[in-house]
Amino acid sequence: MKAIILAAGVGSRLRPITSDKPKCLVKVAGRPILDYQIEAYRSAGITDIIIIVGYEAEKIRQYCKHIKDLRITIIENSVFSSTNNMYSLYLARTALKGEGFLLSNADVAFGPEIMARLIAGPPSAIASQRDHYSEESMKITVDSENQITGISKTIDPQMAYGVSIDIYKFSQEAAATMLDHVVKTIEVRKNLNDWTEVAIHNMLQSGQMVMEPVDIGNHPWYEIDNHEDLTTAEKIFSGYVSGREKLVFFDLDGTIYLGKDLITGAREMLQRLEEKGVKYYFLTNNSSKSKKDYAKRLDNLGIGVEEERIILSTDGCLDFLVKSQVKEIFMVGTRSMAEMFEAAGINTRSEKPEYVVIGFDTELTYEKARLATLHASKGVDLIATHCDLVCPTPEGIIPDAGAILKFIETAAGVKATRIFGKPNVEMIAHILEREGVSLDEAVIVGDRIYTDMEMARRVGCKGIMVLSGDTGLEALQVCASCPDLVVKSVAELFH
């Protein structure tokens, strides 16, 4: 059999992700939706695939041109913006003539097991999830002989067998009936704006075509129309298995709290870990406060924690200076940060510093920036507590230490010689060793790809990204350090 993938649509509800790419190339758990479909067809032995393209057609061509083991035919729907998927199927009529075929809408991610079940099933069938109901999905009704009697979004839940997952199988006879109906709709009735599902429903109702449901069971699938769907699909296809965790590192800003507010469900999530006997630590690159400040802040939010379980980006920086026997620095940082260094015998306002130290300075003045730039431009080494460019707040993002560092680097014409904090492995290496857990039992949970998820990648442990802080779904489309799991917030974790 041939397979046909309908991929001409715009996917406007996924913008800005689809502002410059077709929906079928949107990534789910690091893979384009189209890749899931092609792999499912390949695994089932289908080697002849027709893809109907429209919006951003060239990008689909470029994606497919390196696939050598399949015969992929690209057909372009040049009027995709004013037609629907029945017209796209119509464009494939010549290529499909006289043959049975498989049909899928390109916005559904699904595993190869589903295609295997469909091909092994009745001659003409609809892949369906029995006893499942969704307002957005097509529902089907089935008679006492297990034949489908209708397919529509408006079917009452009490009447529905389950939902269609938009994957169809047509025998040679059913394919001829289907295509004949489509041709008459387009050429005779001049209706270019109808859906393939409408054609299927009409023929089932009139008895012109017989189809049966193929129950996919619990095999993974998801139709992706909007950002909410994409978040759900990320979770379904992540492959992350909960329950193996023995040690969890949590970012704070944007993960446990945002501004002055605790993330909903964070306290309950930590209680679940405690009940399971899972040890956890808090990591933050935010160098504007001391461990005592953070412990007090967490306590005020109803989370009691010992100071030694709070790991700051300043820890590595301060440890480096102490071990190097440095006594004189010029600091761009808050008074709270300066007090930590001064308690270790380091002068933070030296006129002859060995290092210029950049932190997250919420008390930044031009005078501090001016003096730091002058010292750095005269050859004093520039170091920073961490590299975060922005800090999430309830009002939006604000400049963080990384932005301040770039400001000084640009003005002085130099680069920092060392940057501490996430994603540097040494920030938690000693804890992993002390706790004695294997890497597959350790997890880093955070809201940033380039620090939290990059750190997980460097360490070799699992990384879970939350969407409650700095990073949105758009960033997952281009990230190198893809998380093992993406969730809306920590409330969804460790049940």
CA torsion, ordered 88, 91, 95, 101, to nearest 10 deg: 30
Q: Supply the pLDDT for residue 480.
A: 72
Residue 51's identity, in one-letter code, is I
Mind listing the pLDDT tens digit of every residue in the chain (495 residues)?
A: 899 999 999 999 999 999 999 999 999 998 999 999 999 999 999 999 999 999 999 999 999 998 999 999 999 999 999 998 899 999 999 998 888 999 999 999 999 999 999 999 999 999 999 988 788 888 999 999 999 999 998 888 888 999 999 999 999 999 999 999 999 999 998 888 888 999 999 999 998 999 999 999 999 999 999 999 999 999 999 988 888 899 999 999 899 998 889 999 999 999 999 999 999 999 998 888 888 889 999 999 999 999 999 999 888 899 899 999 999 999 999 999 999 899 999 999 999 999 999 999 999 999 999 999 999 999 999 999 988 888 877 788 889 999 999 999 999 999 999 988 889 888 888 899 889 999 989 999 999 898 899 999 999 999 999 999 878 888 888 877 689 999 999 999 998
Extended strands (E) in 82-122: 101-105, 108-110
Q: Supply the pLDDT for residue 193.
A: 85
- pTM score: 0.83
Q: How is 153-214 classified by DSSP, letter by letter?
A: TT--TTT--EEEEEEEEE-HHHHHHHHHHHHIIIIIS---S--HHHHHHHHHHHTS---EEE
In the chain, pLDDT over 90 holds for what percent of residues? 73
Q: Supply the pLDDT for residue 146.
A: 92
- The tokens of 45 are what? 């032995």
Q: Return contacts of 432-439, CB within 8 angstroms, 24+ apart.
A: 432/247, 432/459, 435/246, 435/247, 435/279, 437/246, 437/247
Crossing angle for the helix pair 313-323 and 335-342, to the nearest 10 degrees: 30
CA Rg value for the chain: 28
CB atoms inside a 10 Å sphere around CB 302: 10
Sign of CA dihedral 402, 315, 379, 351: positive
Q: Supply the pLDDT for residue 240.
A: 86
